[in-house]
Amino acid sequence: MTGQEDRQKTVGHIEIACREGARLKPACEMAGLDVRTLQRWRARSGAGDGRPGAVRPIPAHALSQDERAQLLEVANEPRFADMPPARIVPTLADEGVYLASESSFSRVLRAAGQSRHRGRARAPRPSKAPTTHVARAPGEVWCWDMTYLPCEVTGRWFYLYLILDLYSRRVVGFEVHDSDSADHAVAVLKRAALAEGLHGRPPEKRPVLHGDNGATLKATTVLATLHWLKIRPSYSRPRVSDDNAFVESLFRTAKYRPEFPVSGGFKDLQAARQWACAFVHWYNHDHRHSGLRYVSPAQRHAGQDREILAARDVLYRQ
């Protein structure tokens, strides 16, 4: 926005240049103006800037002070005390009365400091963005879950409890049991914490443990163990099925391996445990993970992935 004083100076400089022999259009271009802008400034030499900030006339249909007072009086009637303008206006319309629009009611109430939640019901709360966790190194975020493993006996299942490091996709803890129990979840959690050396880390260096909203993973025993281990829990959002996608993806990989029994299931608990041990070893050390640019989770966990990828790049460029 150009002030009136600056306008007059610019117009004066252009007029001096024109008197000295310069043409109008090049002089305006040197000043950064269009010729039509200069003409408009000359025509309104005595007027200020008409753009936003100028004093505007009051609209003819603006509410008067008496009308504003009437709106406040109506809005504060006992029968309207718990109603928003969106209900007040149609209620009055059903009685054959129209005072103002909903927006006018809202504007008058806001100016009077009465634009608050009306009624005894709790005011709507703004939606909160879901909490997210980003893993930039091993041991910062763990994910865990439990999945069913079939048994040859119809109606019987084995249960695989598994903890995955989000950064490296390495399985840091797992166990197979013949029942779904919070005690089993606590056992695999304690063993993973011991194997990864969490007890020697300060609390702020210990991982966040993300899981779904299953009863087993949210049991009191599990929560007490997390508190004792100084591990912060994190849970999937309600009715969101893909918040724990990394562990679910691992389970799919496991159940599509050739060694997984397609029909019938495992003979007994020992057979299920042997299969789980073999699968986890293969997954951690031999599996070229597509999400890790085809290095193994163990290599990523040990920090060897950069060197491996750099060597590949050199080879590809030859």
The more confident residue out of 312 and 122 is 312
Contacts of 289 (CB under 8 A, 6+ apart): 169, 295, 296, 297, 300
Task: Indicate the pLDDT class of residue 9, thresholds 50, 70 and 90.
Answer: confident
Average pLDDT, the chain: 89
Predicted confidence at residue 256, as pLDDT, reads 94
* Average pLDDT rounded to a whole number, residues 121-145: 86
Q: Which two tokens stand for residue 268?
A: 């007994």
User: What per-residue confidence (pLDDT) applies to 139?
Assistant: 95
- Domain extents in the chain: 4-43, 66-111, 141-313
pLDDT bin (cut points 50, 70, 90) of residue 49 is low
Cβ within 8 Å of residue 30, ≥6 positions away? 17
* pLDDT tens-place string over residues 210-249: 998 888 888 999 999 999 999 999 988 776 666 788 999 9
Selecting from 3.40.50.620, 3.30.420.10, 3.40.50.10440, 1.10.10.10, what CATH number does the domain 141-313 have?
3.30.420.10
Q: Give me 59's structure tokens.
A: 């609209």
pLDDT at 173 over 80: yes
Tell me which of 83-92, 157-166, 172-181, 264-273 is least confident: 83-92
pLDDT at 303: 95
